[in-house]
Amino acid sequence: MATTRIARVFGLADRYTCARCLRKTATAGLRWSSSATSSTVAPPSPLLSKIREELKKAMRAKDTARLSVLRGTISEINQAASGANPIKSDMQILALLRKRKAASEAAAKEAEAASRPDLAEKQQKEIAVIDELVDTVKVMGPEEMRKTVRQVIETLKTTVSGGLKQGVVLKELLKPDGVLADKPLDKKVLADLVKDELAGKPNPS
């Protein structure tokens, strides 16, 4: 009888342990799945992270000019997130900031023309904030881009028959595994450089 009771106790313990192990295994599986999923999510751009951090500082300092720029920028980024062209990279945010700067410059001129120095000063303060944010991103310079463009053009000349087209060179440079893919650069400047190099125009410098 004692042996039977002991066997039953150990049997219950085994069943309890197994159930507990199963729960641990399931939980561990969920944790692994969660971490695996999060690892596939691209981190936010450094500039966006800075804008969010600067917003916290501006709120504490009650800096109205900075708050206006930072909140407005974040609002536009959030609105674009649900559209066909979400803003994710530093270069996209830079383009947004430059657009805001142009609007502020136009508003400042209108304020000056209307003899409203107070409004003009407000816009100038916002422009200063925008310039500060733009300067935090190191954009690839024209000369660095030109060297890369020349190298790619020389390589393509050995593989592409006929004359090279601007679109072909740009596609090679900016394709997902291209040498300039995801680089912080002005695509308009890049396009002009490719055009000049294909036309054989001398380096202006």
34 in any annotated domain? no
40 in any annotated domain? no
Would you report the helix, strand and coil content of the chain in percent, each value rounded to 5?
75, 0, 25
132 with 154, same domain: the answer is no
124 with 147, same domain: the answer is no
Q: What is the mean pLDDT of residues 94-103?
A: 95
Q: What is the mean pLDDT of residues 12-35?
A: 40
The per-residue pLDDT of the chain, averaged, comes to 82
What pLDDT score was predicted for residue 10? 43
Domain holding 129, by residue range, is 46-136
Query: pLDDT digits over 120-140, tens only?
Result: 999 999 999 999 999 998 888
In this structure, are residues 179 and 148 in contact, taking their beta carbons and an 8 Å threshold? yes
What pLDDT score was predicted for residue 163? 83
DSSP string for residues in 63-103: -HHHHHHHHHHHHHHHHHHTSSS---SHHHHHHHHHHHHHH
Q: Which residues contact 41 (CB under 8 A, 6 or more apart)?
A: none
14 in any annotated domain? no
Q: What is the mean pLDDT of residues 184-198?
A: 92
User: Of 136, 152, 187, which residue sits at a domain end?
Assistant: 136
What pLDDT score was predicted for residue 41? 52
107 with 158, same domain: the answer is no
112 with 161, same domain: the answer is no
12 in any annotated domain? no
Cα distance between residue 88 and residue 85, in whole Å: 9
pLDDT-derived band of residue 65, with 50, 70 and 90 as boundaries?
very high
58 with 128, same domain: the answer is yes
- Range with the largest mean pLDDT of 31-40, 43-52, 91-100: 91-100
Distances (CA, A) of 59 to 62, 63, 185: 5, 7, 31
pLDDT-derived band of residue 185, with 50, 70 and 90 as boundaries?
confident
